Amino acid sequence: MGIFVVAISLTTPLTEEVVRELRAGDEVTITGIVWGLRDATLIHWHDKGNEFPADLSNGVLLHTQPNVKRVGERWEPTCVGTTTSQRMDRFTRPLLERLGVRAILGKGGMSGESAAAMAEHGCVYLAVVGGAAAVETLQIEEIEAVYWEHLMPECLWRFRVRQLAPLFVAIDTHGKNLHEEVQARARENVARLTAGT
Amino acid sequence: MIESVDEEFYGVLEDAAREAYVMSLKDIPPDVRVALKAAVENESEPRAAQIMRTMLEAVELGDRGMMVCQDTGIPIYWLRIGTGAYVDGGRLRDVIEKGVRRATLETPFRSSIVHPTQRLNRQDSTGEGVPLLHFDFAAGADYLEFLMMPKGSGSENWSFLKMLLPADGEPGIRKFILDSVAAAAGKACPPLVVGVGLGGTSDQCVALAKEATSRPIGQRHPDPKVAAFEVDMVRQINQLGIGPQGLGGDTTALDVHIERAWTHNSMNPVAVNMQCWRGERRSARIHYSDHRIEWGYSW
């Protein structure tokens, strides 16, 4: 059924070379370490003078605030999904400049300014299927560490993932931004549909 | 017929409020499933179809007891209190709130509710004004029913109100709806149910738009003219090319629902509220006499 597309398997840590080879529209999977964070985590990072309590350099970030369950000393994932990335746009450039982040996973797309920073520093934006968190949760092998627990559930999460998929390259390092292109076309279509009214 | 509900009734309501919240996060309504499956068949963009197949996979995992999405939302309950027996309305807020708290702590799932400026989270999905309750009555009915929706932020962040002018007429309404959907694009988690409020005061208009999103997909407004307008808006929105998750495709809206109220003769308010692809909601009708519960997805 449909067209069979072979996804590109990526394993962390990602290098700048690998990331720069990816093209918007490519389908990829990720295996390895992914850092979960979002609004409150990044606001806290900013307030703390841009210091994380762990080493995120060359890392892969996921915009999330998970549902977890405490089991003994550990946190187990019950539902880990993806949140709308646009709210985190303002942090893209500082994250890339300071940490050389190689991939940001989220949903809904990121701004032209984020895309420019990504092209400059060698980072891609990977679109997760938003709302399908149940699928994503089963691809998380373990929550390896949690930092800033006082921000629960918007802590800094270190996930070990296996074949996180499907992921689509939505911003590449060559100036393509799929969400922005789709939105620009949608606005043209609105103009066409409402012309003369 | 009984004169007044007994003490046990409030416990049954609390349990039902709890159960509805948990179930809404795991059990996707049948109309949504049907619409998604049809959309996969009709979609011309392979990636869009693949994305919707992943969504259907998540729905199946929900049937096996997993939460489908991580967003536990803002809990909203619309209540209709049958007046066939006496119910102490003064207790209802407390009863529903307890149900919400128990759903969160006993499942357990994440509390998404924070103080608006201090961002403090009580970790039990409640706070000032949350859960959000709407009260109405059903004359003579011997049951209380409610519709529960855990409203996610991804779609709720794309809410729009415009006080159009009477001279803007229907074309103005049409353009505002399309502009709103295009502004949200992939960020509201399409394919969407687009709720539209027409008329009323500003706050009433926004509430109507939200209520409109709770109507099952495919169910049309009773007024044939409004129904035709809904169908036409679905067609137009699906010509925008936004597609599932904003990555392109034919499926941007699964449906458009309109609710209306009469308005002031110098006003023409229109509001747009989006519901993400899961369309999460559960309803329950609790009978006063035997506490029997009829579960559903709408009313």
Let me know if residue B132 belongs to a domain.
yes
* pLDDT given for residue A4 in this prediction: 63
Domains of chain A, by residue range, sit at: 8-192
**Other CB atoms within 10 A of residue B128 CB:** 7
Please check whether residues B143 and B159 belong to one and the same domain. Answer: no
What are the pLDDT digits (tens) for B197-240? 999 999 999 999 999 999 999 999 999 999 999 999 999 999 99
What are the pLDDT digits (tens) for B7-53? 999 999 999 999 999 999 999 999 999 999 999 999 999 999 999 99
Q: Does A63 touch chain B (CB under 8 A)?
A: no
Question: What mean pLDDT is reported for chain B?
Answer: 98
Please check whether residues B161 and B102 belong to one and the same domain. Answer: no
Is the pLDDT assigned to residue B116 strictly greater than 60? yes
**ipTM over cut 0.85:** yes
Give per-residue burial for B144-182: e unless 16+ CB within 10 Å, then b. Answer: bbbbbbbbbebbbebbbbbebeeebeeebbbbbbbbbbb
> What is the value of pTM for the model shown?
0.96
Asked if residues B174 and B237 have their Cβ atoms less than 8 Å apart, the reply is: no
Q: Looking at CA atoms only, how far is residue A103 from chain B in angstroms?
A: 18
Total domains in chain B come to 2
Can you give the residue range of the structural domain that contains B74?
Answer: 7-27+68-152+280-296
Please check whether residues B112 and B126 belong to one and the same domain. Answer: yes
pLDDT confidence band for B1 (50 / 70 / 90): confident
Q: Do B154 and A133 touch (CB under 8 A)?
A: no
* pLDDT given for residue B215 in this prediction: 98
Helix axes B7-26, B92-106, angle to 10 degrees: 40
The secondary element (H helix, E strand) that includes residue A183 is: helix A178-193
Asked if residues B260 and B197 have their Cβ atoms less than 8 Å apart, the reply is: yes
Please check whether residues B227 and B122 belong to one and the same domain. Answer: no
Which strand ranges, in their side-by-side order, compose the sheet holding B268-275? Answer: B160-164, B268-275, B192-198, B253-260
Q: Does A183 touch chain B (CB under 8 A)?
A: yes
CATH number 3.20.130.10 is the correct assignment for the domain at A8-192: yes
Q: Do B58 and A132 touch (CB under 8 A)?
A: yes
Let me know if residue B232 belongs to a domain.
yes
* pLDDT given for residue A187 in this prediction: 98
Question: Out of A65, A84, A183, whose CB is closest to B157?
Answer: A84
Asked if residues A36 and A60 have their Cβ atoms less than 8 Å apart, the reply is: no
Q: Do A108 and B245 touch (CB under 8 A)?
A: yes
According to DSSP, the residues that pair with A62 across neighbouring strands are A36, A105
Q: Do A79 and B67 touch (CB under 8 A)?
A: yes
In a 3-state reduction of DSSP, which class is residue A185?
A: helix
* pLDDT given for residue B83 in this prediction: 98
Let me know if residue B124 belongs to a domain.
yes
Q: Do B186 and A135 touch (CB under 8 A)?
A: no
What are the pLDDT digits (tens) for B165-187? 999 999 999 999 999 999 999 99
Let me know if residue B200 belongs to a domain.
yes
Kindly give the parts of chain A with pLDDT less than 50: 1-2
What are the pLDDT digits (tens) for B133-153? 999 999 999 999 999 999 999
User: Before B191, cis peptide (omega within 30)?
Assistant: yes
Contacts of B191 (CB under 8 A, 6+ apart): B35, B36, B39, B52, B243, B244, B251, B252, B253, B254, B277
Contacts of B102 (CB under 8 A, 6+ apart): B14, B18
